[in-house]
Amino acid sequence: MKTTFSIIKADVGGCPGHSIVNEDLLEVAYEKLSEGVESGIIKDFFVTNCGDDLELIMTHDKGEDNEEVHGLAWDTFTAATEVAKERAFYGAGQDLLKDAFSGNIKGMGPGVAEMTFTERKSEPIIAFLMDKTEPGAFNFPIFKIFADPFNTAGLVIDPSLHSGFVFEVWDILEHKRVFMKTPEEMYDLLALIGAKSRFVIKRIFPKEGGKLPDDEPVASISTEKLFHIAGEYIGKDDPVAAVRAQSGLPALGEVLEPFAFPYLVSGWMRGSHNGPIMPVPTYQAKCTRFDGPPRVVALGFQLKNGILTGWEDLFDDPAFDMTRQKAQEVADYMRRHGPFEPHRLPLEDMEYTTLPKVMEKLRDRFEEV
């Protein structure tokens, strides 16, 4: 049978500031999605947050871009926004950029990572949720998981992974996409995805002739850019991703391995700074120091007939203590640069922030030299 796994997220208000989603909003979301199960729109769900982002993880059999499922997510965010507004939580309704739902939640503000696939005998799947960063933050770990033999032992050892994977990469400025094969096109692929503010990995597919169908994704990442929708700075586009694991795919531990390194991502304070991404359990996913540092949460599920039969908060583990420690050292090191690059993002990335408004004020004072 085919199941669709949908992660739809939005920042509909933080408490306090941009730090975290209040418990009461999570409760509203829980109630709304319970109604969605009762009315048969979705089969199962999980509600959580990463920092100030409300995360709806849903399973159903309606496929991607489904109007009912997206409508349910929109209604859930709207209901949570009402509570956030009543309580004057910060940035209430921030990511809901349109007034009325128009059939597909994409392009309306929330971030979406969905994939439809034939369930295997046992289907482990991981939901990654990030706060205070952008979709390109997934390029590094997704590349490592599916293409780096120093990360994923299975690429070397397991014949069913040996042939590699197909990467669907989006140019989010030009609105184009390209499919690239690894390992044979690995260098070309890296030439693109190293430029993570422009080229982002959207999906991963198995190669033809392998153990898994080559037209069903094994990973999917949200690529929504709020700036492109709103035309002004709203906040970073805190991304989410879903990754399937095991038997013919990277093992659970190979999927988590890249996060043992707190690599640099852009976002953090005012969406304008480079900083380390820190893997944390959900109860530590609150953005505090300098509105960060950026966080990533990993929730692992088992699926059966579209039902989430069990789950685990995967970074709630001392195995990631050293990474968190290192992330804090890197955070401290980066902070010492204050407003200087490369802690602050380069000018072309600052275009999507509030800085141009400051620059505008100085424009007329420049003389020819």
Question: Which residue of the set 32, 181, 236, 286 is catalytic?
Answer: 236
State the Cα torsion 361-362-364-366 to the nearest 10°. -170
237 is a catalytic site residue:
no
Report the partner that residue 53 touches, choosing among ligand F6R, Mg ion, none (CB closer than 5 to 8 A by kind). Mg ion
Which of 280, 288, 232 has the alpha carbon at shortest distance from 94? 232
As a whole number of Å, the end-to-end CA separation of the chain is: 69
Residues 5-44 that bind ligand F6R (CB under 6 A): 17-18
Cβ atoms of residues 103 and 74 within 8 Å: no
Q: Is 105 in the site for ligand F6R (CB under 6 A)?
A: no
Residue type, position 99, single letter: D
3-state secondary structure of 107: coil
Q: Is 294 in the site for ligand F6R (CB under 6 A)?
A: no
Report the partner that residue 131 touches, choosing among ligand F6R, Mg ion, none (CB closer than 5 to 8 A by kind). Mg ion
Stretch that binds ligand F6R, among 115-123, 255-263, 264-272, 278-286 (CB under 6 A): 264-272
Q: Is 97 in the site for Mg ion (CB under 5 A)?
A: no
Q: Within the chain, what is the greatest distance between any pair of CA atoms? A: 70
Nearer to ligand F6R, 237 or 257 (CB): 237
For the window 16-55, what string marks contact with Mg ion as x by the rule CB under 5 A? Answer: --x--------------------------------xxx--
Stretch that binds ligand F6R, among 177-185, 262-270, 331-339, 340-348 (CB under 6 A): 262-270
Report the partner that residue 244 touches, choosing among Mg ion, ligand F6R, none (CB closer than 5 to 8 A by kind). none
State the Cα torsion 19-59-278-342 to the nearest 10°. -80
Q: Is 236 in the site for ligand F6R (CB under 6 A)?
A: yes
Report the partner that residue 55 touches, choosing among ligand F6R, Mg ion, none (CB closer than 5 to 8 A by kind). none
Q: Give the Cα separation of 27 and 47 in Å (integer).
A: 9
Report the partner that residue 93 touches, choosing among ligand F6R, Mg ion, none (CB closer than 5 to 8 A by kind). none
Question: For ligand F6R, how many residues bind (rule: CB under 6 A)?
Answer: 10
Q: Is 270 in the site for Mg ion (CB under 5 A)?
A: no
Q: What does R_g of the chain's alpha carbons equal in angstroms?
A: 20
- Report residue 86 as tokens: 């009543």
Q: Give the Cα separation of 220 and 240 in Å (integer).
A: 9
Q: Is 134 in the site for Mg ion (CB under 5 A)?
A: no
144 is a catalytic site residue:
no
Nearer to Mg ion, 94 or 151 (CB): 94
Report the partner that residue 291 touches, choosing among Mg ion, ligand F6R, none (CB closer than 5 to 8 A by kind). ligand F6R
DSSP codes of every residue in 166-234 = EEEEEETTTTEEEEEEETTTHHHHHHHHTSTTTEEEEEEEEPTTSSS-TTS-SEEE----HHHHHSS--
Q: Is 192 in the site for ligand F6R (CB under 6 A)?
A: no
Which of 200, 344, 339, 325 has the alpha carbon at shortest distance from 275? 344
Least Cβ distance, residue 269 to ligand F6R (angstroms) = 5
How many other C-beta atoms lie within 10 A of the C-beta of residue 137?
29
How many other C-beta atoms lie within 10 A of the C-beta of residue 93?
19
Question: Which residue of the set 9, 11, 106, 131 is catalytic?
Answer: 11
Q: Is 91 in the site for Mg ion (CB under 5 A)?
A: yes
Least Cβ distance, residue 132 to ligand F6R (angstroms) = 5
11 is a catalytic site residue:
yes
Least Cβ distance, residue 368 to Mg ion (angstroms) = 42
- Binding residues (CB under 6 A) for ligand F6R: these are 17-18, 132, 235-236, 267, 269-271, 291
